[in-house]
Chain A
Amino acid sequence: MPQLIRVRPTKIELVKLKRRLALAQRVQKIVKDRLSILTMEFLQTARETVEAKRKLVDAFSEAYKALSIATGYHGYIALEKELIASETDLRITAGSRNIAGVRIPSFELGEIRSPMRGYSLVDTSSWLDHAAQLSEKCLKTTIELAELQRSLELLGMEINRTKRITNALEYMIIPALQVTIKYLNMKFEERDREEKARLKRVKVLLARE
């Protein structure tokens, strides 16, 4: 049962309450739209996250296999010697985008400009090239997953918050306003009836005199 809002029973208060009710109903429509959009985006992101996780697991397993073969072919010491010199700077562009009021991070891995990976092509085999290629794929998938995972968290939190607002509007605020408006209307009608009865009584008294 919605609670009555404590207001003075005046016409001005009634007008104010009606305005508040109209605003609350308009807000409710928009918040509901927003909730449906956020849910749609959340489901889409969840699907993509599952796909990206699967891709990541596959990519890492392939990369480890390739690295194991390369290690077996060259030996630990020789491979470590080659890989020490192979560090390259990566360029990740980080920004944000907005989905219905939620700021979502956006990451993009820049193109690796140098085709050379830093190790000697003479002393290494194509096994290492293959392992390096697969590792780059892992990196791309990791960045993609990082973006999706964070988006999923942010969207989830926002959905929770929006749901609370929708529920508050639907089950508390709007019913309370409607009940109070109804109560004030009944009060004014009662006053009118009292006024009419009093006038009739006065008329009867005057007629008797």
Chain B
Amino acid sequence: MLNDLPYERILQESLKGELRVVNAGLPQNRKSLSDLLGEEYPHVICSDGDTHLFKRKELEYIASLINIDEQAALLLPMLIELGANKVEAAIICQTNIEEKVISKILNMPTKPEQGKITIYKPQLALLRKMLKTTTQYVFTQKIL
């Protein structure tokens, strides 16, 4: 039978591992849309060293929504921040190009507050349906 203390330690380690996994898909560096369109295989490297491949169709769809200057400034993947047990999600936007893209896709006006656009779960589902590879989830709660 396992002694309580080693068992507890194993448990703690597995929980910590669980949390490491959650944000493993975050990109090390984001790339601009124009750069990605110029690549043969548009991709970014994730924090766990894995490759995140973008679908060309999605990139072309976003490119059709904005002009060439904005394409050079828009960094992908767009990050969707999820807080602990919150109903809403927030899209991190450093420029107003993200706002333009999101409002066009969701077909509603959006207003960034403190660099974030707040959307709700149904809108999030719609956004993820349209932009599967060009958006990425971020779990922001401080853990350890």
Binding site for B on A (CB under 8 A): 5-7, 20, 23-24, 26-27, 29-34, 37, 40-41, 44, 48, 93, 95-101, 103, 106, 108, 165, 173
Contact = CB atoms under 8 A, between A and B. Distances in A.
Contact of B21 (A40, A44, A101): A101
Interface stretch (B7-15, B65-73, B99-107): B7-15
A31 B143 CA distance: 12
A4 to B, nearest CB: 10
A24 B15 contact: yes
Contacts of A5: 4, 8
B31 to A, nearest CB: 15
B53 A30 contact: no
A30 B129 CA distance: 23
7 contacts: A26-B84, A27-B143, A40-B121, A98-B25, A101-B22, A106-B53, A165-B18
B22 A41 contact: no
Interface in B62-91: 82-85
Chain A interface main SS type? helix
Contacts of B85: 29, 32-33
A187 B91 CA distance: 49
B51 interface: yes
Contact of A6 (B4, B22, B57, B125): B4
B61 interface: no
Contact of B50 (A40, A41, A44, A103): A103
Interface of B: 4, 8, 11-12, 15, 18-19, 21-25, 41, 43, 46, 50-53, 55-57, 82-85, 121, 124-125, 128-129, 132-133, 136-137, 139, 141, 143-144
Most buried by B among A6, A7, A27, A31: A27
A152 to B, nearest CB: 14
Contact of B51 (A41, A44, A96): A96
B22 A30 contact: yes
Contact of A40 (B52, B53, B125): B125
A101 B139 CA distance: 10
Contacts of B22: 30, 34, 100-101
B55 A108 contact: yes
Contacts of B125: 40, 44
